[in-house]
Amino acid sequence: MNYKPGRIFLSVPHMGGHERNYVLKALEDNWVTTAGPNIPGFEHDICQHTNARHAVALNSGTAAIHLALRLLNVQPGDEVLCSTFTFVATANPILYVGATPVFIESEAETWNMCPDTLEQAIQARLKLGKKPTCILLVHLYGMPANMKDLLEVAQKYDIPVVEDAAEALGSRYSGHQLGTFGHIGIFSFNGNKIITTSGGGALVTADEQLAEQARFLSTQAKEQAPHYEHTTMGYNYRISNIAAGIGRGQMEVLEKRVKQRREVFSYYKQHLQRESISFLPEPKGSFSNRWLTTVLLDATSGKSPEELRLALEAQNIEARPLWKPMHLQPLFKDAPYFGNGLSEKLFGKGLCLPSSSSLTEEDLEKVVKVILREVRE
Ligand SMILES: *Cc1c(COP(=O)(O)O)cnc(C)c1O
């Protein structure tokens, strides 16, 4: 990729400073592979911060979702109830295990899985004689889903929950960190997320056996034996000690990064206040890490999100459409979908603004200036 200098990106890595110490130590001690002290150290940091009982550090968030589905024994032909309004990495692992996603529409308040629609979908699938194997829900852009009502539905029908908190590390719901409400939670440390390990992910759970099984499956499912003995299909999904070292440095500044992303949100909200632009408020009891600031453009703005995106691009500023819902993706054209089309409307009206924690006030001023020039009151 060949960008002009001075570009304002959507979301970039932001080192805290101590990452290099952990990485240098790993190099000096020759712990450069998928073993070494940074890995349990990083897992410990994740547990400390999220209050999760067990954490397993992996080489991507997608790998963590794949393992979560394996741990919950999702079989070929099974159905997984999945948020439709998300990035494709949530849904792809359902295909990896040969299952079928059943896409569930969002609610307006959080943009995340609608509890009523979830229940309707479960009832409809039960009527067809098919009980879904698990619920895979997302906390999009860092905003907590309505966990109270979603868990109530999940418990009523006795279906386990996986939380895709890839975008939501550091977000809280009724005082607890996201990722710790479901049977399994997952985080991503991809380069665009709130903190990064260059690439990586983690699976968290309160169930020691599930955590052990995740470690086993992520390291080629080697049975206890001096030779290589295998009874189960495994994966090469463990994080490296180098990447985990970056993660340890990043965990030191996570709180700061959350604060900075929230300040970016506040800046936009304050300076872009007008009839034709709206922001997603935090429901009572929810605390979002505001991973990305999103705006919805009303028709009265006189601009489509795509026109605004191009106007920003002309000034060397990166903005992106909201995620295109999964039930609209050609990849999933045959998958069942339950809902009223809300996410499609959001997709048509929304835009993600540059939200890096390293943005300066000067950068933010520049973005706001372009938007105010383009958009009518
Ligand atoms: C980034 C992301 C993932 C995948 O994480 P990787 O670490 O990139 O594999 C999964 N779900 C959502 C919602 C994401 O934004």
Q: What is the mean pLDDT of residues 338-362?
A: 98
On the question of pLDDT at 2 being above 80, the answer is no
> Looking at the domain assignment, is residue 304 inside a domain?
yes
- Clarify whether residues 221 and 268 are in a common domain: no
Average pLDDT over residues 282-306: 96
pLDDT band at 4 (very low <50, low <70, confident <90, very high): confident
Out of 251, 278, 313, pick the residue that ends a domain. 251
Q: Are residues 163 and 292 in the same domain?
A: no
| Ligand 1 centroid, distance to 24 Cα (angstroms) | 28
Residue 59: its pLDDT value, please?
Answer: 98
At 46-96, the pLDDT tens digits run 999 999 999 999 999 999 999 999 999 999 999 999 999 999 999 999 999
Ligand 1 center to residue 62 CA distance, Å? Answer: 6
- pLDDT average, residue stretch 148-172: 98
Q: Could you tell me the residue range of the domain that residue 310 belongs to? A: 254-374
Give the mean model confidence (pLDDT) for residues 114-141. 98
Task: Check if 197 has its Cβ closer than 6 Å to any atom of ligand 1.
Answer: no
Average confidence (pLDDT) over 253-267: 98
Pair 275, 359 in one domain = yes
Decide if pLDDT at 18 tops 70: yes
266, 344: one domain: yes
Q: What is the pLDDT of residue 169?
A: 98
Residue 29 has pLDDT above 90, yes or no: yes
**pTM for the model:** 0.97
* Ligand 1 centre distance from Cα of residue 188 (Å): 6
**Segment 181-187 mean pLDDT:** 98
Q: Are residues 128 and 141 in the same domain?
A: yes
Nearest atom in ligand 1 to the alpha carbon of residue 65 is 10
Atom of ligand 1 nearest to the CA of 201: 7
Confidence of residue 17 (pLDDT cuts 50, 70, 90): very high
Residue 377 has pLDDT above 80, yes or no: no
Please check the confidence at residue 110 and state whether its pLDDT lies above 90: yes
Give the 3-state DSSP-derived string for the chain, with helices as H, strands as E and coil as C. CCCCCCCECCCCCCCCCCHHHHHHHHHHCCCCCCCCCHHHHHHHHHHHHHCCCEEEEECCHHHHHHHHHHHCCCCCCCEEEEECCCCHHHHHHHHHCCCEEEEECECCCCCCECHHHHHHHHHHHHHCCCCCCEEEEECHHHCCCCHHHHHHHHHHCCCCEEEECCCCCCCEECCEECCCCCCEEEEECCCCCCCCCCCCEEEEECCHHHHHHHHHHHECCCCCCCCCCCCCCCCECECCHHHHHHHHHHHHCHHHHHHHHHHHHHHHHHHCCECCEECCCCCCCEECCCCCEEEEECHHHCCCHHHHHHHHHHCCECCEECCCCHHHCHHHCCCCEECCCHHHHHHHHEEEECCCCCCCHHHHHHHHHHHHHHCCC
Q: Work out the average pLDDT over 317-344.
A: 98
What confidence tier does 1 reach under pLDDT thresholds 50, 70, 90? low
Q: Are residues 143 and 158 in the same domain?
A: yes
pLDDT for residue 218 = 98
Specify the CATH number for the domain of residue 264: 3.90.1150.10
- Number of domain units in the chain: 2
Q: What is the overall mean pLDDT for the chain? A: 97
Query: Does any domain span residue 308?
Result: yes
Same domain as 353, residue 297: yes
Q: What is the CATH number of the domain that holds 119?
A: 3.40.640.10
Domain boundary among 251, 279, 297: 251
